[in-house]
Structure 1
Amino acid sequence: MIGVTGASGRLGRLVITELLQRLPTDQIVALARTPDKIADLAVRGVTVRRAEYDDPATLAPALAGVERLLLVSGSEVGRRIVQHRNVIEAAVRTGVRFIAYTSILHADRTPLRALAEEHVATEEALRASGLAWTFLRHSWYTENYEDRVRAAAATGELVGATGEARISSATRADYAAAAAVVLTTEGHAGRIYELAGDEAWTMNDLARIVGEVTGRPVTYRNLTPEDYKAYLVQQGTPPAVAEVLAVLEAGIAQDALFDDSHQLSQLIGRPTTPLREAVRSWFATR
């Protein structure tokens, strides 16, 4: 059986969707902190179990019979090392043979050190576990920019602090397809995949595409990280959150999200979703 943690989240659900196209439902185990949120999967025949990263007592029963597992990284920055180790230790005890883990692009050398620290620690824990593993190192989700794009379409201005840095983003669906391939085919154990979109774009490119899609001119205003933080606070962002976002922009400005290896499209056997297509979809749905 193949298990997916975080199955009620946006990425986890998409991975389950991909697996349903490849496997009988009785071979899929969807693990979530709140199983009621994925009750629809149970109706379809998927095995649904409660698994809470912070509650080790839930993890061994949740992993019973699972041979291959996708460990979707937790969302609680600062708690993830403990949480992920809980899952890994339960996997060892229950006989899981293989774990694929969603890490961050170029985890060992990224300028985004604040985000990478917990991913690197998790990778180290997996290496030491004795389990077979694959690291799926993700660049940004294109969807991370949806709210900023909508605001830019309304105001005519996209604001940031990344200069002309290249961003090789991909959609959650692209990353979900890669996870499904690794979970259902052989030859991936011990591999590190640097997963990123085929298309590298700048914030100026994004502004131009938003303008073309909406028919309203949009320009990009590049700020220093300090001025970007002040801008965010002025827009109502809590200062602590604004500080984190400004630090991230400074890292992205160093090409932290750029990768031109095309490992993602090679893994999924198709091109990754173009930026223009993603932007168009955001305005087509509302």
Structure 2
Amino acid sequence: MSESRATPGPAPLRYGYGTNGLTDLRLDDALALLADLGYDGVGLTLDHMHLDPLAPGLAARTARVAHRLGELGLTVTVETGARYVLDPRRKHGPSLLDPDPDDRAARGRLLVTAVRTAADLGAHAVHCFSGTAPPGTDPDTAWKRLAQELRPVAEAAETAGVPLAIEPEPGHLLATLDDFHRLRAAMGDPASLGLTLDIGHCQCLEPVSPAACVRAAAPWLRHVQIEDMRRGVHEHLPFGYGEIDFPPVLDALAATGYRGLTVVELPRHSHAGPELARTSLAFLRALDPEGAPPP
């Protein structure tokens, strides 16, 4: 083991699988599958088929999920990338950047609900993203809206003791690591604001390698998503179908001391979700610099 990884002493990477890639399964069946396969946890996307954040009885339903996670020995992170949870006609709409303040407030309320749900589940982070700037919106206005609308969410996260992890997303206002630092500075560097790093997105559009992105992001890393991807093409691919060299990425993650979940993110592959969950974990465990062999 190298000296850099001996200080402070890396733990084995902890893997999860995103429920947005298991939408053909009931949530309880998805959780049981992941536990049986040997996953450490789950990236739980709040959506109509899996812990609907807008349906009645959320607190009771959340308590049942928390109990089930405990029975199965799974940890959890809460993700908020459901495509049509707020508006059945607008993908990821409304967003924090919309011109209508009521629309922005709807997204903000959803994120605060996600924070509270994450706290009730004992999640290690709650994920979010900026959204795309609406047509005709100048960049300065978009950035001001994003900082303004995220402040109460960050405050709720601080109160709940759950880190808020915003994800650079290709095509969104906040698309890169540099954009994350712009937002962090605009908000006054709140302690609760961290980063979701999607390894595929690093391959897609960052100027440095995914492993270098991990090292650069380490101080703010609160959540990690992982899949294969090709340069310049925002398409989440199963491992081995893209261009990413994964051993340096996993080595870099282990060296950071990151203790959260590294969640496989294949939202367009639910038709093959159970098999991809199996093969994905086998792939990662075989390469993990500190991990155990697949079960």
Please classify the TM superposition score into its range, dividing by the shorter chain length. Answer: 0.3 to 0.5
* TM-score, structure 2 normalization: 0.36
Q: Which has the higher contact order (CA 8 A, sep 6+)?
A: 2
Structure (1 or 2) with the greater helix fraction: 1
